[in-house]
């Protein structure tokens, strides 16, 4: 039950690609607690699903999205957004902004995973 973070997605979601320790803990704990909502996606890898987790931080409410491998139960981090940004307030495939970036992030994740450009947290 690992959480895997792509280097390129990390650079897009966090300034300079550096995840503050408090945010990293929210990302890791958000998945490990097992309280999430399954959301629809498209063009997902076979045997995977998208999940959304709600989190509260000192900077405000956040929405965390992971792609989960249903066989290994490993989570691939995709989004860490304020509930007030254009994606965070409507994390559904019906939101064109979310859909567009989801497809981009799935491509980035695949590319980074294939070359080992990921951080793995057990």
Q: What is the Cα–Cα distance from 121 to 28, expressed in whole angstroms?
A: 8
Question: For residues 118 and 112, is the Cβ–Cβ distance under 8 A?
Answer: yes
- Go through the chain and tell me how many residues it has: 122
Dihedral sign, Cα of residue 90, residue 53, residue 27, residue 22? positive
54-87 tens-digit pLDDT? 999 888 999 999 999 999 999 999 999 999 999 9
Domain locations along the chain: 3-121
Contacts of 91 (CB under 8 A, 6+ apart): 39, 52, 63, 65, 79, 81, 98
Q: pTM score, two decimals?
A: 0.95
């Amino acid at each position: 039950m690992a959480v895997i973070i792509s280097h390129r997605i990390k650079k897009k979601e966090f300034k300079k690609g550096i995840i503050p320790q408090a945010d990293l803990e929210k990302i890791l704990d958000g998945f490990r607690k097992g309280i999430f909502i399954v959301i629809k996606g498209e063009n997902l890898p076979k045997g995977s699903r998208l999940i959304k987790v709600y989190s509260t931080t000192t900077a405000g409410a956040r929405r965390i999205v992971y792609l989960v491998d249903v066989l290994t139960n490993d989570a691939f981090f995709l989004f860490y957004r304020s509930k007030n940004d254009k994606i965070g307030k409507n994390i559904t495939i019906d939101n064109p902004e979310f859909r567009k970036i989801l497809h981009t992030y799935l491509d980035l994740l695949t590319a980074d995973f294939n070359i080992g450009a990921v951080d793995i947290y057990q």
